Amino acid sequence: MSADSVIAFLPIKPVYANRILEGSKKYEFRRSRLRQDITHVVIYSTSPVKKIVGIAEVVRVTAASVSATWRQTRQAAGISRTAFKAYFSGSESAVFISLRRAVRLKKELDPTEVRSGFKVPQSFSYVDESFIKRVLFSGAR
């Protein structure tokens, strides 16, 4: 990571968070646009886990039509076509984040252990480098 790192905090359903960390899911999907220059993502496993479980590097962020997104990602989407279509129902476009080098934390973290009063976003939020450094420091033990 460098001083110009852009880090996204992504709430992800536990089944998909695990697939990313196991390496079978190489893409994460969003209905809303994200910055193109994201370098890393903090992976937060949603209910019932409710913990930060890992971190991954971002290869690129791409916006495309829903059908083009499925064509480009289906081999490693880590999600069924039915679930994909349901998620993007009513959307004209899709955003997909290409991921690599996902690392599972040794210790899962409540976000408030990293930053007091942290509120988990509905879709995503940006966090600063000090946030991810604290995740790596606290979660590595």
Q: What is the pLDDT of residues 2-14, one digit of tens each?
A: 667 899 999 999 9
CB neighbours of residue 36 within 10 Å: 12
Whether residue 62 is predicted with pLDDT greater than 70 in this model: the reply is yes
**Residues 6+ away with beta carbon under 8 Å from 130:** none
Whether residue 73 is predicted with pLDDT greater than 80 in this model: the reply is yes
Tokens of 95: 């955003």
Q: What is the pTM of this model?
A: 0.94
- Backbone phi and psi for residue 84, each to the nearest 5 degrees, phi listed first: -60, -50
